[in-house]
Amino acid sequence: MRDYKLVVLGAGGVGKSCLTVQFVQGVYLDTYDPTIEDSYRKTIDIDNKIFDLEILDTAGVAQFTAMRELYIKSGMGFLLVYSVTDRQSLDELMELREQVLRIKDMDRVPMVLAGNKADLNDERKISVEEGIEVSSKWGKVPFYETSALQRSNVDEVFVDLVRQITRNEMQSVGGQDKSKSKSSLSNGYVQDGNKEAETPKTSNNRGKNLVNSPTVDDSSRKGKSKVKNKKKKGPCSIL
């Protein structure tokens, strides 16, 4: 079975690694090397289907690099993370999203917007409403507030990405058969705005907001999930 390649993007310190490790391993790592850029594997069960995920936890988004271009090219779904305590981290996502769309050469790419550290209400600088606004501006990209610390909406953001990718693939196949008026894109996204009428999914970090809540099987318990952070590998590992 082929891998579903997901890429986690965002400014330094927003919680990309904490979210990834919490999703893959079910633990919260408070101190994580900010320079580590590595890929992780996880097998999950979504709606009784098994998916092998390869998740690239990126670091060093400050400059545009050729490496980043490569992993964006090969990535199938993108988790764009900001911290609700850091306005600049949201600003930085605008450019990142542009890069993803430019490199993929598509109007829509499977993507989720995540406002992390939702547990830090006292330090909050960005409201839920602002997150929803950005999501609307981005063509109703699914939006969640997350907390890696409280494991809130962690599974949901990754599962949403996988669902978007599979939906794309189905539309891509269907598009070829049915309609020539819709431009079915190389990675499967159909440029028909109505198709992706998603409602932003926000919650006050309770993690209960997904309609059709997925069955997420933490396969690490079955020994299927492997974290590859012992051997440091470059971003090429996702290629």
Q: Give the per-residue contact string, 42-81, with Mg ion (x = CB under 5 A; - = no).
A: -----------------x----------------------
The residue whose Cβ lies closest to ligand GDP is 15
Binder among 4, 5, 7, 16 for ligand GDP (CB under 6 A): 16
Dist CA 169 CA 112 (whole Å): 17
Q: Of these partners, Mg ion, ligand GDP, none, which one is at the site of residue 31 (CB under 5 to 8 Å by kind)?
A: ligand GDP
Rg (CA), the chain: 17
**Contact with Mg ion (CB under 5 A): which of 4, 15, 17, 68?**
17
Q: Tell me which of ligand GDP, Mg ion, none is bound by residue 117, counting a contact when its beta carbon lies within the kind-specific cut-off of 5 to 8 angstroms.
A: ligand GDP
Q: Is 239 exposed, middle or buried (0-12, 13-18, 19+ CB in 10 A)?
A: middle
Task: Select from Mg ion, ligand GDP, none the partner in contact with residue 172, using the beta carbon and a kind-dependent cut-off of 5 to 8 Å.
Answer: none
At 53, list the tokens.
């995920």
Cβ 194 to ligand GDP, closest distance in Å? 34
**Residue 226 DSSP SS3:** coil
Q: Positive or negative CA dihedral for 105, 110, 113, 119?
A: negative
The piece of 15-23, 114-122, 144-152, 205-213 that touches Mg ion (CB under 5 A) is 15-23
Cα–Cα distances in Å, from 15 out to 33, 102, 114? 11, 25, 10
| Residue 68 within binding range of ligand GDP, rule CB under 6 A | no
**Residues making contact with ligand GDP (CB under 6 A):** 10, 12-18, 30-32, 34, 116-117, 119-120, 147-149
**Residues making contact with Mg ion (CB under 5 A):** 16-17, 59
